[in-house]
A and B are shown apart, each in its own frame.
Chain A
Amino acid sequence: MSTYFLKRILYVVPITLAVSFFCFSLVHLSPGDPMDAVVSADAPREVVAMVERAYGFDRPLPEQFALWVSRALQGDLGLSAANGRAVTTEVFAALKNTLLLALAASLIGFTLGCTFGLLAGYWQGSLLDRLVTGFAVGGVSVPHYWLGMLLVIVFSVELNWLPSSGAGPGSSNDWAFEWAYLRHLILPAVTLSVIPMGVVTRTVRAMVAEILAHEFVEALRAKGLAEKRVFLHVVKNVAPTALAVMGLQLGYLLGGSILVETVFSWPGTGLLLNNAIFQRDLPILQGTILVLALFFVLLNLIVDLAQARLDPRIQRS
């Protein structure tokens, strides 16, 4: 284990603390008395007393933070101000659905992005390249919540092929790998996939073009090496970066799915957040953001470590 790995792993500690502090402070950022932010106005007296004890709002801020962190470490992120259920349970139930959505979207985006990027990079300057490049710019420029609505109009309203909202028959949240459920995943996943598609396409295209411009590729070709070998060489060089980009995109999707989940009423963290915002349910807001951000930190760590393993040059810089 090199010092780079050690440093990178240790670096997670301060970041995690800072992220926790940010989430902790959200309750205090919210206008008005923090007590009002974490407990509903009509809560019974004993609940109010319990919450008061748990948060310790009368104590100094650092102490409150320490208290909050120690509770969070035990898996206690408080109770929803709206329905009194445990935040942890709510968040993890929703996280499962969001992960599923984000993974599906990443898979679509990655596959399409790599294909488009390779094609465009190989035939740089061709009509195909222009089309793909335009498509990629569109992918990163499109308001995906609007794209979602477009897809609903085409495939649900006009064609009536696919369901427009929910996660399963009867709006059931118990998701299963059956066609009845999978149908609900298609539209949101495709909608969400355009961003990673655009980003991956651009990255792969640029890298392929760069590699092909290298002299050693010319040399390989001059040696009479089959195009297939050149292609394999390109893939081997592009793959690590493309995977790293994808890894980060997966993280962005986890956070970015809120708008798409709202459009499709997909019962994930985004919808949870959206509802929390409307009901001014700060504990849910805080808990969801903490879990998502920590997930993102972890993902970043994995991507960095994996990339360092694949490309030793990174460790030195």
Chain B
Amino acid sequence: MNVTPMVTSDPRDRGGKAQPLLRVKGLRKHFVIKRDLLGRPLSRVHAVDGIDFEVRKGETLGIVGESGCGKSTTARLLMHLLQPDGGEVIFDGDPVGTRGGLSLREMRRQMQMVFQNSYASLNPRMTIEESIAFGPQVHGVGRRESRQRARRLLDQVGLLPERFAQRYPHELSGGQRQRVNIARALALEPRLLILDEAVSALDKSVEAQVLNLLGDLKQEYGLTYLFISHDLNVVRYISDRVMVMYLGKVAEVGDSEALYRAPAHPYTRALMSAMPSLEPGRRTQTAPLAGDPPNPIDLPPGCRFCPRCPLAVDLCRASEPELAALPGGGHLSACHRAGEVQAEVSNPQPSVEESVR
């Protein structure tokens, strides 16, 4: 959403507008999935395989990709709910979780997360008010004060406090619960809100309402969003910039409009061609994505999109492409043939189809 935050001067702001709020370098996470009799790892899944990106102050960065591409793992790594195997997370200039940097506790005040499953992310034995007030209480805010804050936030997310504060999660609808989860995340007054498939489980009409709410809250509190979703339409609607992930790697990053207009990675293009559209003139032109993603346990040696890519050449099979800037700046793609892909999409006559068997 292209809104300029009303709140411009956050006392916690360190480096000004020019410094990214979040900078991620080489973030990695492997899961050991099989061990031998002595407990030594036999095979691993590269869930997040060294990714770099940044989130600018006040923007919404969308992350898209198929399930299993590492989107959610990335979110959990950022919150340090999972211990990264490598890489750096820098929050407003401060490295997180290292000596002399930002402590995890402090980081979690500034960065909060809304989970996909609205029901599972609320304690069934706690009232709505207790759930929202829990965070502030943990950080030393008094009982009364945090309850007041909870009620204020409930009001702010569109749930009348006098009617909802004392209810239990199972007495609420999915949309209502997700509003509670948003209120809970905001209770710590974070600067960055990670929304991990936060609206994916909701009905379309409810989804739209929650998206509007998110837009309003962003403006009101000067928030920055990291919006993770598999739904390209929603991501396009809400994001300023979009990052496409494929099997634990960044495939492409760029301004939302530019990326949707002229994708520079064959994977992005395939995703978009599978995107449902209501305009008859924009019906699918290129071939949809064929096959399944390769098994993330034994990846192909070169580009990991190779086995499914209609444009793959020998170079792609031999060496893994780096994420590199395209001419014009601001748009990065991890494809050896990025330029050609972009050119082809702008060209209404897709010659790619010939290479698709």
Contact = CB atoms under 8 A, between A and B. Distances in A.
Asked if A and B are interacting partners, one says yes
Interface of A: 3, 6-7, 10
A3 B34 CA distance: 12
Nearest to B36: A3
A176 B37 CA distance: 48
A7 to B, nearest CB: 7
Interface of B: 37
A30 B346 CA distance: 88
Nearest to A3: B37
The 4 closest A-B pairs by CB, nearest first: A7-B37, A3-B37, A6-B37, A10-B37
4 contacts: A3-B37, A6-B37, A7-B37, A10-B37
Contacts of A7: 37
A3 B35 CA distance: 11
Contacts of A10: 37
A10 B37 CA distance: 10
Contacts of B37: 3, 6-7, 10
B13 to A, nearest CB: 51
A22 to B, nearest CB: 26
B41 to A, nearest CB: 15
A3 B39 CA distance: 13
A52 to B, nearest CB: 42
A315 B33 CA distance: 16
A6 B37 CA distance: 9
A7 B39 CA distance: 12
Contacts of A3: 37
Contacts of A6: 37
A271 to B, nearest CB: 43
A3 B37 CA distance: 8
Nearest to A10: B37
A10 B38 CA distance: 12
A10 B36 CA distance: 14
A3 B38 CA distance: 12
A7 B37 CA distance: 8
B43 to A, nearest CB: 14
Nearest to A6: B37
A7 B35 CA distance: 12
B211 to A, nearest CB: 39
